[in-house]
Amino acid sequence: MPTVGILGGGQLGLMLAESLDRLGQDVVVLEADADSPCAQRRSNVISGGPADPGALATFFSRVDVATFDSENTPAPPLVPYASKLAPSLRVLEVTQDRAKEKTFLRDHGFRTVKFELVAPGADVKAAVHRFGLPCIAKSVLGGYDGKGQHRLTTETDLNSLPPSAPGGWVLEEVLQLESEVSCLVARDARSSVTFPIFENLHAHHILDLTVLPARIAPALQDEARQVADGVAGALELVGLLTVEFFIGTGRDGVRRLYVNELAPRVHNSGHVTRQACTVSQFDALARILAGVPVVQPEVHRGAWCMGQLLGEVWLAQGRSGGALDLTAWKDFPDVVDVYVYGKREARAQRKMGHFVVHADTPERALERAALFRQRLRG
């Protein structure tokens, strides 16, 4: 059995490591933050990051295969170790660069919203006038949870747009948005499986709630799974890929499914699979990294909802981080799991934990999730 490496020791790396433990794998984590979830709970953690050549060399000398917990992991330092990466360095390079990602999707025939690329140093205001308002300007590099994104509706919005962004800009048309969904694809050298479609609700650009089953038509769910599997195949993926979709109406007035973004890793929307599915997203990736065949995940009966726990919940309880007062849980038997990441510093909009609700219907699951989180906040 190989020794598996994880580049990044946040909550995603921690939950993946737990799945690897169940397969009897040795796990090594590379993480620079001494307060990270893995640094606090795992023993085999190398202190450092991809920008530290010594730590990186030590890490790769001790592992047979490695993955990453963020598509923003710098790619250039990983070039000498590309043969050990799953997903591949090519997948990482495409998905961490919005310009490359959009171009890849377009060139392979996958539908995205209308977009225009603005190279570094080019006149972004002139490009916006050419593209047309309203639109959304996104930085090519480094964006997540809404960072580096600007909705431009008026000339006033445009005048407040920074003249430059890391890697340049991508301009996107604004949809009349109906819903956002995601699909996970687990793929090894022999076979590929897709998870059920998740419906995702966001607040302030951060994933807030995930509902399973998604409340969209079966035909759209089938289309999303087929497209996600096609994207994974075009990338020649070995590992896990999250494909995020918009369902909405564009400038042409037609309602469609659009590919929004790709994440070559376990994903926040997939946390619900730890309870809702026969195989979780973390178990699926762990099996691929360990050389164990992937199997098709199935959904357990009923409806499921994952709710994020951000730093605001800790601050509302007067806590700076660490443990959370879960006294309210006794009144919510339908909350089947609460997972606190153990981060020591609570900040607004920082992901500190999550919970999962099981109910008869998606609407009931959403209702109970909202009430439980409200009770936690007091």
Percent of the chain with pLDDT over 90: 95
pLDDT tens per residue, range 71-81: 999 999 999 99
pLDDT in tens, 93-122: 999 999 999 999 999 999 999 999 999 999
Q: How far is CA 311 from CA 32, 39, 66, 319, 365, in A?
A: 21, 20, 30, 9, 22
Note the pTM of the prediction, 2 decimals.
0.96
Mean per-residue pLDDT of the chain:
96
* In contact, 110 and 230? CB cutoff 8 Å: yes
**Burial status of residue 54 (CB atoms within 10 A of its CB: 0-12, 13-18, 19 or more):** exposed
Sign of the Cα torsion 322, 323, 329, 334 reads positive
Which residues contact residue 102 at a Cβ distance below 8 angstroms, ignoring those fewer than 6 apart? Answer: 112, 115, 117, 170
The confidence band for 278, taking pLDDT boundaries of 50, 70 and 90, is very high
Return d(Cα 180, Cα 4) in angstroms, integer: 33
What residue type is assigned to position 365 of the chain? A
pLDDT at 143 over 80: no
Structure tokens at 8: 């990044």
Is a pLDDT exceeding 80 seen at residue 268? yes
Q: Which amino acid is at 16?
A: L
Question: Nearest 5°: phi and psi at 21?
Answer: -60, -40
Tell whether omega for the bond before 87 is within 30 degrees of 0, i.e. cis: yes
Cis bond leading into 120, ω under 30°? no
Q: How far apart are CA 95 and CA 142, in angstroms?
A: 11
pLDDT tens for residues 178-219?
Answer: 999 999 999 999 999 999 999 999 998 899 999 999 999 999
Q: How far apart are CA 26 and CA 9, in angstroms?
A: 15
